[in-house]
Amino acid sequence: MPDRLTTRSVGEDDRHIGGKVRDKRRELGISLQDLAEMLEISPQQIQKYETGQNRLSASRLSQIATALKTSLCFFVPPRTPC
């Protein structure tokens, strides 16, 4: 059985991080289309990140944090120190 820390499937943390992306994007009044254009990816991919269907890489999350003018710590689940 694979180690929990190395599993590639999406889970609770992915949904939490995606929800925080969505919340911050909406708070700033940025559309899916606008964020997608900033990151040069499709709006559908942003939506998959926001719903936790796809896992965000650290580099992509850093790009999103920059686009949304916030820190990486904003997205970290509360039980994880930042």
**Using one digit for the tens of pLDDT, what is the confidence trace for 37-59?**
999 999 999 999 999 999 999 99
Map out the domains of the chain with their CATH numbers.
11-73 (1.10.260.40)
SS (H, E, C) 56-71: CCHHHHHHHHHHCCCC
8-12, 43-47, 67-71: which range is least confident on average?
8-12
Secondary structure percentages of the chain, helix, strand, coil, to 5 = 60, 0, 40
Which tokens sit at 66? Answer: 């920059």
Burial of 59 (0-12, 13-18, 19+ CB in 10 A): exposed
Q: Mean pLDDT over residues 71-75, rounded? A: 95
In the three-class reduction of DSSP (H, G, I as helix; E, B as strand; rest coil), residue 82 is classed as coil
